[in-house]
């Protein structure tokens, strides 16, 4: 217990004193997660709308594939992205390996199926009379899309926050694509794994406190939005 208490007190001190190594990992995590969730929403929301709103041959199969990708292992994503962006890969000229954009690109692949699936579910859950009403009133194209997304806005936000929680807590992609480089690509999760392995329990606990706080904030927002939706 003394070991845990001492580690906790030192962790609090590191956070209060503004330890640069600790906060660099925090800011890198927030930067990577923000980039990935933004890209995932830009890609996932339109695809989710199309999947939820329209009927087309093979829709059930497509939906099954998307739902299967929700459980995509992070290390598998990291492995395939690494193969593509390494020097010998087809995208090696982009120099994304061991960079923040590289991590964000891989996390986008991980998070996008979540956005697509939950957005499609949100659109499918809307009152079916809405589509008929909009068509009767002469709505077309963008008007239909915007109106449906506005009606499902809370559920779409739930999708975004769920995806953000997935991105901010993953470790496999950050380790494989980012390389866990100090002051550059080291995130909260990779730093916790490294520092704990080195015996720096206090640093790991400090980062764990930050990550837990972010997770609690994300879950709090999820609960609020689910009640509104």
Specify the CATH number of the domain 2-228: 1.10.3720.10
pLDDT in the model for residue 144 = 78
pLDDT in the model for residue 108 = 96
Q: Is the pTM of this model over 0.85?
A: yes
Nearby residues of 128 by Cβ (< 8 Å), 6 or more positions away:
none
Average pLDDT, stretch 11-38?
A: 87
pLDDT in the model for residue 113 = 96
Based on its alpha-carbon atoms, the radius of gyration of the chain, rounded to whole angstroms, reads 21
pLDDT at 103 over 70: yes
Spatial separation of the C-alpha atoms in residues 124 and 188, rounded to whole Å? 36
Tens-digit pLDDT profile for residues 121-152: 999 888 777 777 777 777 777 787 788 888 88
Spatial separation of the C-alpha atoms in residues 159 and 222, rounded to whole Å? 9
SS (H, E, C) 114-146: HHHHHHHHHHHCCCCHHHHHHHHCCCCCHHHHH
pLDDT in the model for residue 141 = 72
Tens-digit pLDDT profile for residues 61-82: 999 999 999 988 899 999 999 9
pLDDT at 120 over 70: yes
pLDDT at 7 over 70: no
Spatial separation of the C-alpha atoms in residues 190 and 137, rounded to whole Å? 53
% the chain with pLDDT above 90? 38
The label of the residue with tokens 């909260």 reads: 188
Reading the block at residue 36, the tokens are 């990935």
**pLDDT greater at residue 168 or residue 145:** 168
**pLDDT greater at residue 152 or residue 35:** 35
pLDDT in the model for residue 121 = 92
The helix (H) or strand (E) run that includes residue 35 is: helix 20-53
Spatial separation of the C-alpha atoms in residues 188 and 28, rounded to whole Å? 8
% the chain with pLDDT above 70? 97
pLDDT at 42 over 70: yes
pLDDT at 1 over 60: no
Q: Where are the domains of the chain?
A: 2-228
Reading the block at residue 162, the tokens are 């769920």
Residue 125 phi/psi, 5-degree rounding, is: -85, -10
Terminal-residue alpha carbon distance, the chain: 44
pLDDT in the model for residue 203 = 81
SS (H, E, C) 163-207: HHHHHHHCCHHHHHHHCCCCCCCCCHHHHHHHHHHHCCHHHHHHH
Nearby residues of 185 by Cβ (< 8 Å), 6 or more positions away:
28, 98, 99, 100, 103, 174, 178, 179
Reading the block at residue 196, the tokens are 């704990």
């Amino acid at each position: 217990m003394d070991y845990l208490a001492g580690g906790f007190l030192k962790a609090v001190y590191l956070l209060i004193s503004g330890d640069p190594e600790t906060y660099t990992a925090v800011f890198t995590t927030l930067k990577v997660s923000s980039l990935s969730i933004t890209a995932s929403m830009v890609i996932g929301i339109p695809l989710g709308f199309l999947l939820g709103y329209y009927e087309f041959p093979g829709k059930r199969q497509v939906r099954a594939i998307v739902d299967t990708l929700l459980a995509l292992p992070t290390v598998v994503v990291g492995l395939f992205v690494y193969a593509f962006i390494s020097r010998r890969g087809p995208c090696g000229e982009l120099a994304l390996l061991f960079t923040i954009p590289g991590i964000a690109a891989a996390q986008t692949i991980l998070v996008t199926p979540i956005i697509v699936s939950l957005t499609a579910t949100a659109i499918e859950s809307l009152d079916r009379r809405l589509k008929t009403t909009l068509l009767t009133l002469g709505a077309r194209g963008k008007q239909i899309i915007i109106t449906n997304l506005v009606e499902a806005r809370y559920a779409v936000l739930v999708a975004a926050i769920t995806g953000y929680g997935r991105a901010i807590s993953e470790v496999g992609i950050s380790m494989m694509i980012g390389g866990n480089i100090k002051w550059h690509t080291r995130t909260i999760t990779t730093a916790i794994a490294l520092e704990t392995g080195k015996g720096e329990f206090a640093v790991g606990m400090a980062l764990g406190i930050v990550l837990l706080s972010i997770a609690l904030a994300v879950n709090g927002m999820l609960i609020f939005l689910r009640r509104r939706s």
